[in-house]
A and B are shown apart, each in its own frame.
Chain A
Amino acid sequence: MTALSSEAAPPPGRTFLSKVADLRAWLFLVILVIFFETWAQTVYGVTFVGNTYNLQSIGIFATAPLLLALGQTFVIISAGIDLSVGFTMGLAAVVSAHMANLGASHLGLPPFLSMLLGIVSGVAVAFVPGLVNGWLIARLRVPPFIGTLGMYGIARGAAYLIAGGMTVPVSNAWFAWIGNGRIAGVPILVIIAAVVVLIMHYMLSQTRFGQHTYAFGASRVAAVRSGINVGKLTMRIYLLAAVCAGLAGALYSGRFAAGAAQAGEPLLLSSIAAVVIGGASLFGGSGNIAGTVAGALVIAVIEYGLVFINVEPFWQFIAVGVVIIISVLVDQSQRKLLGGRVDE
C-alpha cells in the first residue's frame, strides 16, 4: 500500500509570507500611524499618536462603522452582503430616540430607565429588517445583494417616516453619558465596542455557528451535506448583522443627543471596506474579527488623520479607496502564491 504524505505543505518561507499577508490590515494601520506622526511632527511640530484626545476621537470615530462591520463580517464570510445595515442603523437611531423620549414623557420613567428603553427598542426594531433579510435570502432564495438592497430602501423610508423627515432630539443625561462619557479616560462607546468585539470574536471562532458560517461561505453543498440547517444559519447571520446595526443606531442617538434617519448612510461602504481591508474575501469563506477591527481602525485613522493634518477632507475617500484596492490585490496574490483557489 502506498503511503500518502502531506507533501502539499508549503515551505516555511511561504507560510511566513502568508502570515504577513494575513496581518496586512494591522500593517496598514502601523504604516498610517507612522505617516501621520511624521507629518504632524515635521509640519506642525506636534504629536499625532501621543495625544490622548486624538486616540479618544479615533476610538469614537471608529465605533459605529466597526459595529456595522462586525455583523457584516459574518455576512461576508457566508458569501453574502448586507446593504441594508446603514439604514437599519438609522431606523434604530430614530426609534431609540423616540422611545427614550416616550419613556420619560408618557411612562414617567426615570432617565436611566428611559435610556434603557431607548436602547432596547433600537436593538429590537432592528430584528425586523434582519429577519426579513434572512427570510428573503434563506427561504425565497433571493440573492443577498438584491434582498438587502430592497431592505435598504424599506428601512430608509421607514426611518424617515418615523422621524417625520427630521432628526429626533433626545434630552436624557444618561443617554448623553453613554454616547459621550468616559471611564478612566476611555470613551464608553469604545468600551461597549470592545465588549461587542469580544463577543463576536467568540461567536465566530469558538462556536458551531461561527464554524458553520465559514463552511457555508466556502461550500454551500458541503454545509448542506453535513446536515447543517443552512436556512436557519442564514437567518441567524442576517439577524446578527441587523442587531449590530441596531446597537450602532441606539448609540448614535446617545452620542449626538438625536436620532437621525441618515445616521448610518455613509457607513455602509465603510463597513464593507473594513471587512475587506481586514482580509475577508467577498467570495466568502475567509475573514476574522481581528482583521475587521484593524480594518475599521485603518479607516478611522485615515479619516481623522487627514483632518488632523489639515488636508482637504475629500482625500479621505481617495485614501480609503486605495487601501481597499491594495488589500484585495494582496489577497489575490496570496491565493496564487499558496496555490489555492483564485476568485474570478
Chain B
Amino acid sequence: MSEPLLSIRGVSKYFGGVHALEDVSMDLKAGEVVALAGDNGAGKSTLIKAVSGVYKADRGEIRLDGTPISFESPQQARDRGIETIYQDLALADNLSIGANIFLGREPKRRAFGFLPVLDRALMADAAQETMRRLDFHVDRLEAPVSAFSGGQRQAVAIGRAIYWNAKVLIMDEPTAALGVPEQRKVLALVMALKEQGKGVIFISHNLGDIFAVADRIVVLRRGIKAGERVPAETTSDEIVRLMVGG
C-alpha cells in the first residue's frame, strides 16, 4: 500500500461545548475518490473546513504527503495543493474561462516591448488545454462563463483548481443544483480527476452518485465516524443505517 496523499488522524473540533467532530480519522490516496456521507449536521462541512484551512482542528493531526500541516487560511491550503470547490462555484460570471482560471494571478506580457498588458492569449491557451484535460471541448474561449451550463461551469471551477496543480480536490455537493444529464457529466469529471491521480473528497447527499464514483465511503454521524465501507461490499441500505444510526 502506498503512502496516503492526505491522512487525517484523530481530528476533533469543538464549538463552545458542542463537539462538531470527535476523533475522526480517514485517508485519501492519490487517484482515489472518497465520498463523505452523513446527514445534515453530521460534521461533513466541519471536516472539510478543517482540511481546507477554514477551521483549525482542536485535536488531531492532518498530514499531506506525510508532512503535518496546519493552515492559517484557505489561501495557504490552496498554495499547498488543497482546493475546495464549493456549491456556489465562486466564478466571476462576466469573465472568460481563462480569466477565471487566472483570477488573482493573471499573466502579463509586454506590448510594443514596454507596456505591461494582460496576456489573454496565454490565458485562452491554458483554458483550452485545461478544459481538454477534463474532456471538455470549448471553442468560445472569449465567452463569459455565464454563457455555459451548470455542469460546464462546474468544469471551469475544477479546471481552475487543477491548472494550479491541486493534489486534493474537495467537492461540496457538486451535483446538487444540476439536472440529470449535467449530473452525469460532473461524475465523469470526477472520474477524469481520479485518472489523473488527484485525490478527491466528494460530499454528496445522493447515494446514487456516491456509489457511482467512490472508491470508499466514509460515513459521519453526529461528529463521529460511523463507519467506512467499500461500495462493492455494501448496500445503500447499510449506508443509510450508518448515517441515521440504529
A interface residues (Cβ-Cβ under 8 A, vs B):
1-10, 202, 205-208, 211-212, 214-215, 217-219, 221-223, 225-228, 285-286, 338-341
Contacts and interface: CB of A to CB of B under 8 A. Distances in A.
A201 B118 CA distance: 13
Contacts of A9: 139-140, 143, 147
A3 B192 CA distance: 11
Contact of B188 (A2, A211, A226): A2
Interface stretch (B17-25, B40-48, B99-107): B99-107
9 contacts: A3-B135, A4-B136, A9-B147, A206-B116, A212-B104, A214-B92, A219-B92, A225-B74, A339-B147
A205 B117 CA distance: 9
Q: Closest 7 interchain pairs by CB?
A: A226-B104, A215-B92, A226-B103, A206-B117, A4-B136, A285-B94, A218-B94
Contacts of A202: 115, 117
Nearest to A211: B106
B191 interface: yes
A208 B117 CA distance: 9
A311 B91 CA distance: 50
A202 B136 CA distance: 32
Contacts of A10: 147
A8 B147 contact: yes
A206 B149 CA distance: 28
A13 B136 CA distance: 25
B36 interface: no
A234 to B, nearest CB: 15
Given A9-B139, A211-B118, A285 B148 contact: no
Contacts of A214: 92, 94-95
A340 B90 contact: no
B151 interface: yes
Interface string B66-107: 000000001100100000000010111111000110011110
Interface of B: 74-75, 78, 88, 90-95, 99-100, 103-106, 111, 115-118, 134-140, 143-144, 146-149, 151-152, 155, 184-185, 188, 191-192
Nearest to A206: B117
B98 to A, nearest CB: 11
Contact of B90 (A206, A222, A285, A341): A222
Contact of A4 (B116, B118, B137): B137
A227 B117 CA distance: 20
A10 B106 CA distance: 27
Nearest to B84: A225
B103 A218 contact: no
Given A227-B75, A338-B147, A340-B147, A6 B139 contact: yes
Contacts of B88: 221
B166 to A, nearest CB: 14
Contacts of A207: 116-118
A303 B94 CA distance: 33
A305 B147 CA distance: 40
B92 A222 contact: yes
A278 B65 CA distance: 52
B106 A285 contact: no
Contacts of B74: 225
Nearest to B150: A8
Given A4-B135, A219-B91, 4 more contacts: A4-B152, A212-B104, A214-B95, A222-B90
B103 A222 contact: yes
A341 B146 CA distance: 8
Nearest to A207: B118
Contacts of A285: 92-94
Given A221-B88, A221-B90, A227-B104, A6 B192 contact: no
A276 to B, nearest CB: 16
A214 B151 CA distance: 23
A208 B123 CA distance: 13
Contacts of A2: 135, 184-185, 188
Contacts of A218: 92-95
A211 B191 CA distance: 33
Given A2-B188, A206-B117, A222 B147 contact: no
Nearest to B155: A4
B93 A5 contact: no
A287 to B, nearest CB: 10
Contacts of B147: 8-10, 338-340
A215 B139 contact: no
Most buried by A among B93, B104, B152: B104
B28 to A, nearest CB: 22
Nearest to B86: A225
A6 B103 contact: no
Contacts of A5: 136-138
A341 B92 CA distance: 12
